[in-house]
């Protein structure tokens, strides 16, 4: 088994909590990789002797980013919609149908090539684990092919047939919900791990959302929820009541919503790229952290409301706009994302974890927020191999 020691690390973020430091920060550190796993991490002076060594030259090293919310399989774009929003037109959920039309018209090979480009973007920016949702097909055939294509590049596939009501069912909502919870779910479940629903004004009611999520659960899928994005609503409490892995957006929360999250295992996944793109207010991360809620940060990369794949940008926005410290934001973008995906093998650099890590061209993780927009990723390792 090949062993590689990355040594002379200026700042190592292990995410192995120590006293008051949830990031488990080590200085003048080293990490030993054996095969696809972390074998050891600690002071460079105490590192095991191995033949293959990499000098980090004082750079910072941290776990690979875990992006637990993306929509990467789609056709077309919505640049005109973005320009209109920037000119003052408000965002509404119905814009998804534009992408649905373009996605239905695209071939598998076209979608696959575009997806490969997005995966390359993610890796180049330090993301080593990512989730992908369906939701831009909205027919049994198209949702199934999106799930199948997503499964070619990640094990974290989410069935999101309940993204919006398909246009052809505009006057038959009940029929569409039955389609999603029945034949569409059956076609997608073999390729998926998660089931999600957009529980929001303009999308699906709490009752409709529950019907779809419970149907997914009967097929062994674990629920996730888009909730409380456009205004107060039932998404958070629905997610908690079903034991969902995460509820994503959480922009508009009542005190009861916060209390429900704090008393549950459901992660609040915040998506600041959406607020950047839609000009909605940013979520109050400080309020959630102070209440004891577990947070994740994710990109929500999609063509309508957050067309960015940059987790470093999410960290910078969380620190600048959402009341998070740099350590809190980095933890949420790594370990928090792992919790949202219910994974214990990623998001940290303890022995036994996957050797997914990022070497920054900077002496500390603070530079991720301090130098926004600058390409700071020097090297990325996935399962022990440099990408």
* b/e burial code for range 9-31 (CB count within 10 A of at least 16 → b): bbbbbbbbeeeeebbbbbeebbb
- Residue 39 three-state SS: strand
Tokens representing 106?
A: 């695209």
Beta bridge partners of 248: 226, 269
Please give the Cα distance from 191 to 158 (Å, whole number). Answer: 9
Spell out the per-residue pLDDT of the chain, length 387, in tens: 889 999 999 999 999 988 789 999 999 999 999 999 999 999 999 999 999 999 999 999 999 999 999 999 999 999 888 888 888 887 665 688 889 999 999 999 999 999 999 999 999 999 999 999 999 999 999 999 999 999 999 999 999 999 999 999 999 999 999 999 999 999 999 999 999 999 998 899 999 999 999 999 999 999 999 999 999 999 999 999 999 999 999 999 999 999 999 999 999 999 999 999 999 999 999 999 999 999 999 999 999 999 999 999 999 999 999 999 999 999 999 999 999 999 999 999 999 999 999 999 999 999 999 999 999 999 999 999 999
Tokens representing 188?
A: 């997608």
Please give the Cα distance from 150 to 194 (Å, whole number). Answer: 12
Those residues whose C-beta lies under 8 Å from the C-beta of residue 79, and which sit 6 or more positions away, are none
Three-state DSSP string of 50-76: CCEEEECCCCEEEECEEECCECCCCCC
Distances (CA, A) of 212 to 181, 185, 235, 270, 342: 5, 9, 13, 23, 21
Element (H, E) at 115: helix 108-124
Confidence (pLDDT) at 1: 80
Please give the Cα distance from 185 to 280 (Å, whole number). Answer: 32
Tokens representing 76?
A: 């077309």
Confidence (pLDDT) at 93: 56
Confidence (pLDDT) at 92: 62
Eight-class DSSP state of 191: G
Q: Are 67 and 347 in contact (CB under 8 A)?
A: no
Q: Are 5 and 53 in contact (CB under 8 A)?
A: yes
């Amino acid at each position: 088994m090949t062993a590689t020691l990355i040594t002379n690390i200026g700042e190592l973020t292990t995410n192995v909590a120590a006293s008051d430091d949830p990031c488990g920060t080590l200085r003048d550190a080293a990490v030993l990789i054996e095969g696809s796993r972390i074998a050891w991490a600690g002071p460079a002076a105490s590192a095991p002797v191995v033949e293959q060594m990499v000098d980090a030259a004082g750079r910072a090293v941290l776990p690979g980013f875990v992006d637990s919310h993306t929509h990467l399989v789609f056709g077309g774009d919505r640049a005109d919609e973005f320009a209109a929003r920037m000119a003052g037109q408000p965002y509404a959920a119905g814009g998804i149908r534009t992408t649905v039309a373009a996605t239905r018209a695209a071939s598998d090979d076209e979608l696959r090539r575009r997806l490969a480009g997005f995966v390359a973007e993610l890796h180049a920016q330090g993301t080593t684990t990512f989730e992908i949702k369906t939701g831009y097909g909205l027919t049994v055939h198209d949702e199934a092919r999106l799930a199948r294509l997503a499964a070619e590049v990640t094990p974290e596939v989410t069935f999101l047939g309940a993204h919006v009501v398909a246009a052809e069912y505009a006057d038959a909502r009940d029929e569409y919900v039955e389609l999603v919870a029945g034949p569409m779910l059956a076609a997608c479940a073999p390729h998926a791990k998660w089931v999600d629903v957009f529980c929001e004004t303009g999308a699906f009611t709490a009752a409709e959302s529950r019907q779809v999520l419970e149907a997914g659960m009967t097929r062994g899928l674990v629920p996730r929820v888009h909730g409380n994005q456009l205004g107060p609503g039932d998404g958070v409490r629905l997610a908690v009541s079903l034991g969902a892995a995460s509820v994503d957006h959480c922009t508009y929360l009542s005190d009861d919503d916060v209390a429900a999250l704090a008393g549950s295992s459901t992660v609040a996944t915040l998506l600041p790229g959406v607020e950047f793109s839609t000009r909605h207010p940013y979520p109050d991360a400080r309020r959630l952290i102070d209440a004891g809620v577990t947070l994740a940060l994710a990109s929500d990369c999609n063509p309508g409301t957050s067309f960015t794949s940059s987790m470093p940008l999410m960290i910078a926005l969380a620190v600048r706009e959402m009341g998070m410290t740099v350590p809190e934001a980095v933890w949420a973008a790594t370990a928090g994302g792992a919790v949202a995906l219910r994974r214990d093998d990623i998001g940290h650099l303890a022995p036994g974890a996957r050797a997914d890590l990022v070497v920054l061209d900077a002496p500390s993780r603070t530079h991720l927020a301090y130098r926004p927009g600058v390409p700071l990723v020097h090297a990325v390792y996935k399962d022990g191999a440099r990408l």
